[in-house]
Amino acid sequence: MENWLTKRANLTPDRMAIRFGETTLTFADMRNRVLQIAGQIAKHVDDNARIALITPNNLTGYLMILAIQQLDKTVVLLNRRLSPREMAFQLADAAITTVLQDDAFVGELANVHQLNFSAILATEAEPITPVATFELDKVTSIMYTSGTTGNPKGVMQTFGNHFYSAVGSALNLGLTPNDVWLAAVPIFHISGLSIMMRSLIYGMGVVLYERFDVERINQELLTGQATTISVVPVMLKQLLAQLPVGAVYHERFRTMLLGGGPTDLTTLEKATAAGIEIVQSYGMTETASQVIALDASSATRKLGSAGKPLFPVEVRVQKVNDADKVGRIQIKSPTLAVGYLNRPDKYAEAFVDGWFDTGDMGWLDDEGFLYVEGREGDMISSGGENVFPDEIESVYGEADAIAQMSVVGIPDDRWGAVPVAFVMFKDEQTMDFEALRNFGRDRLAHYKVPVRFFETETFPRTASGKIQRHKLRDQLTTAHEIK
């Protein structure tokens, strides 16, 4: 396909491409800036096919990603919150020689050439000829999975993956010439990068936020400055909590794409009252963003479901026995990454008869709606019953006093294993053991209710923010137990 930036700047040169703070660029402006930066980068890099990038959500980092594409190189997106050990592993695994980094990053990295954005932008650009075509099978981006167990794997995403992800999203959400997507999710994760790629393919404007500023973002949506936003459940709840009483989002606002797990009925009702259409979704780094989505019209009727596969996607649930309800979620999709960097064996192991095994467990109802129960490794087998932490956490998330909960299984002589919960309460709120237990018993089967509760102020997380359940188990002897 013709270079997406070149094509888009020719098709809609005067349309808004990105707004960051007080700066707005049209697609023609953005092409010129990107080619300038590409020429500046070219002065500093060797012939390595990969360049690593460390950036927050800012305009320079956004343009750097696009500039690396123009140089026909693969961008390896790193999370600045990685520990030194994690960073060193990823740089070595990707054989990186040059790291482009925003000026606020001060970490020293071994065996690589580190370049601050300011140094690059101060360089006299050399003339470059941008790559003419984006070959759909070419790897354009590499992101590392969060590594909840063991070392992370570098997921290799092609232009074709991003293109079909954009197509599937457009067929699901619809598309208008005036669409503007507000991006407050990280551009170094697939949730943010996919918005960037859609922008080029659709000719859609992006409003980029460096951080999730609830008050400012609500104002943007109330005044019709954006039509779409990507959020996770905690972001949705914060937006709703700070909306003025009786406020309704602008009629121009179309959709809130919700990832990272389902939301509860109370939150859905609050969203509806505020004129917010929620589209719940399911996806991962390996699928170049969402591949399953639940449209707003089905959200209440199919509460807890991730939805149905997008048009280019197939899904099945592989069960051990036909009588089982829950099985392994497996998919086929043109958005599937082409492999794990340096780990073809691991990628091959993820396929069963041509279907990619997500590692998640779930079930399909008689209408084809998918319900995700959680990761296979998180499942607790208690007295012959399968207990999924995600379900318990979702139910307890409806408790007014609870900010967040994480559930793990511990050995039990009678049942084999039982669930216990780590609870973070909202400011100046709490619940005792009896209240916590009764809340669960009113809403869950008795074997799913945690047998013990521990209070915590923080959760151990991976660099991408996922809770590391195995580390929670190590805190059982020191955590404060709720009585």
Per-residue confidence (pLDDT) for residue 464, from 0 to 100: 61
Residues 101-115 have pLDDT tens digits of 999 999 899 999 999
Whole-angstrom distance, CA of residue 60 vs CA of residue 107: 19
Lowest mean pLDDT segment, chosen from 76-80, 124-128, 376-380: 376-380
Q: How far apart are the first and last CA of the chain?
A: 63
Mean pLDDT of 59-72: 98
Residue among 1, 131, 115, 2 at smallest CA distance from 61: 115
Pull the structure tokens for residue 134: 């984006």
The residue among 357 and 320 whose pLDDT is bigger is 357
Q: Do residues 53 and 78 lie in contact, with contact meaning Cβ atoms separated by under 8 Å?
A: yes
Compute how many other C-beta atoms are within 10 angstroms of the C-beta atom of residue 85.
9
Residue 241 has a pLDDT of 92
* CB distance 454 to 479 below 8 Å: yes
Q: Considering only CA atoms, give the Rg of the chain.
A: 23
Query: Are residues 305 and 286 in contact, defined by beta-carbon separation less than 8 angstroms?
Result: no
Whether domain 162-376 has CATH 3.40.50.12780: the reply is yes
Nearest 5°: phi and psi at 409?
-100, 145
| CATH dotted code for 4-134 | 3.40.50.980
Q: Give the sign of the dihedral formed by CA 210, CA 213, CA 216, CA 218.
A: positive
pLDDT digits (tens, 9 = 90+) for 169-179: 999 999 998 99
Read out DSSP for 211-226? S--HHHHHHHHHTTS-
Sign of CA dihedral 303, 211, 168, 11: positive
* pLDDT at residue 20 in the model: 98
Give the class (CATH, top level) of 385-481. alpha beta
157's tokens:
């995403």
State residue 16's pLDDT score.
Answer: 98
Nearest CA among 361, 431, 365 for reference residue 396: 431
> What is the three-class DSSP state of 58?
coil
β-strand pairing of 16-20 with 205-208: parallel
**What is the model's pLDDT at position 146?**
62
Give the rounded distance of the alpha carbon of 44 from its chain centre: 31
Segment 447-460 shows an average pLDDT of: 92
> In this predicted structure, what is the pLDDT of residue 384?
66
More confident residue, 237 or 217: 217
Q: Phi/psi zone of residue 373: left (φ > 0), alpha (ψ -120 to 50 degrees), beta?
A: alpha
Per-residue DSSP letter, 309: E
Q: In whole angstroms, what is the distance from residue 166 CA to residue 201 CA?
A: 7
418 in Cβ contact with 451 (< 8 Å): yes
Least confidently predicted of 142-146, 180-184, 229-233, 286-290: 142-146
Domains 162-376 and 385-481 share a fold: no
CB 182 within 8 A of CB 217: yes
- What six digits make up the tokens of 418? 């039982």
CA distances from 386 to 208, 373, 415, 437, 478 (A): 42, 10, 12, 19, 28
For residue 474, what are its two tokens? 């190590």
Q: Which residues contact residue 47 at a Cβ distance below 8 angstroms, ignoring those fewer than 6 apart?
A: none
- Of 140-154, 170-184, 301-315, 357-371, minimum mean pLDDT range: 140-154
124-163 tens-digit pLDDT:
999 999 999 999 999 999 999 865 445 789 999 999 999 9
**301 burial class (0-12, 13-18, 19+ CB within 10 angstroms)?**
exposed
> Which tokens in the block code for residue 111?
């065996």
Average pLDDT over residues 387-396: 86
- What does the angle CA 448 – CA 416 – CA 330 come to, to the nearest 5 degrees? 65
The pLDDT of residue 149 is 47
pLDDT at 330 over 80: yes
CA nearest to 333, candidates 376, 374, 284, 260: 284
Query: Length of the chain in residues, anyone?
Result: 483
The answer on pLDDT for 375 being more than 90 is no
**Mean model confidence pLDDT for the chain:** 93
Q: At a CB cut-off of 8 Å and minimum separation 6, what does 452 contact?
A: 420, 421, 481
Distances (CA, A) of 33 to 9, 29, 65, 364: 12, 6, 12, 47
- The total of other beta-carbon atoms located within 10 Å of residue 67's CB is 29
pLDDT digit string, tens, across residues 5-24: 999 999 999 999 999 999 99
Question: Residue 463 — very low, low, confident or very high, per pLDDT cuts 50/70/90?
Answer: low
User: Which are the contacts of 474, defined by CB distance < 8 A and separation ≥ 6?
Assistant: none
Residue ranges per domain, the chain?
4-134, 162-376, 385-481
Q: What is the mean pLDDT of residues 44-58?
A: 97
Q: Distance between CA atoms of 238 and 441, rounded to whole angstroms?
A: 28
362 forms beta bridges with 327, 372
Q: What is the pLDDT of residue 383?
A: 76
- DSSP track, 419-431: EEEEEEEPTT---
**Percent over 70 (pLDDT), the chain:** 98
Could you tell me where the beta strands, DSSP code E, fall in 139-211? 139-144, 154-158, 180-183, 205-208
